[in-house]
Amino acid sequence: MWNAALMHSYTKPITGREAKAMEVFADALTLYGKLAADGRCAEPEVFHHFVGGGMFIVKTETLEIAHEILDMDDIRKMLDTAMFTVEDFKVEIMVTGEQLMNNMSLYTAIGTELGYI
């Protein structure tokens, strides 16, 4: 079951760096594809805006695995390269699945205890 996800988002390539931006995007899909083949994560899901920019999501079983993936040398290199090639590049770790339900239960309990829910 997938309980965490890495979300990578970007707006558009930096002017003059379009080719490198496309290259790093292909590298990211290859790297995550290999990790998925090894069972470390799901295949990346890619979302693209009609006029450029977009995001992709890579699901993992745990938050710990998501952090481990971000600490891998090849992934760090790809992320740092992306920072130099696309505008508004962001990487976020999200929760999903059972972890999301646990977090929402805690949120609701605290909100109730404080009298806001």
Query: CB neighbours of 88 closer than 8 A, spacing ≥ 6?
Result: 9, 10, 11, 53
**CATH classification number, 4-113, choose in 3.30.420.40, 3.90.1720.10, 3.20.20.70, 3.30.70.100:** 3.30.70.100
Question: How confident is the prediction along the chain (117 residues), in pLDDT tens digits per residue?
Answer: 899 999 999 999 999 999 999 999 999 999 999 999 999 999 999 999 988 899 999 999 999 999 999 999 999 999 999 999 999 999 999 999 999 999 999 999 999 999 999
Q: Where are the domains of the chain?
A: 4-113
Give the burial string for 11-48 (b: 16+ CB within 10 Å, else e): eebeeeeeebbeebbebbeebbeebeeeebbbebeeee
For the entire predicted model, the pTM comes to 0.88
